[in-house]
Homo-oligomer: A and B are copies of this chain.
């Protein structure tokens, strides 16, 4: 998978396909709410396995039933295709 830094035009185009994600601090951001902590952590476990398989890991935060995920590609100091692929695979887990 390409890890080139995407241009703002590319990002805007790709974002239009990921309706639940927004840009925050230059990263792809989405917040998730679950029934309870067990459901939230079950989701996090799936994301963890996915991320490790892709060797691309989220910055994320959990408080009880809520999970916040930020995706960015540090190697290119911006967003790459990796972030958008991981985002759509995370969406597919739900």
- Chain A residues close to B by CB (< 8 Å): 37-38, 41, 44-45, 48, 51-52, 57-64
Is B64 in contact with A61, judged by CB distance below 8 angstroms?
no
Copies of this chain held together in the complex: 2
Q: Specify the chain B residue showing the minimal Cβ separation from A37.
A: B57
- Alpha-carbon distance between A17 and B58 when the two chains are bound, in angstroms: 33
- Alpha-carbon distance between A38 and B57 when the two chains are bound, in angstroms: 10
- Alpha-carbon distance between A61 and B44 when the two chains are bound, in angstroms: 12
Is A60 in contact with B57, judged by CB distance below 8 angstroms?
no
Residues of B within 8 A of A61 (CB): 59-62
Partner of A38, one of B41, B44, B52, B60: B52
Residues of B within 8 A of A45 (CB): 41, 45
Q: Specify the chain B residue showing the minimal Cβ separation from A70.
A: B63
Q: Specify the chain B residue showing the minimal Cβ separation from A47.
A: B41
Contact A41 B48, CB 8 Å, known A59-B63, A60-B62, A61-B60: yes
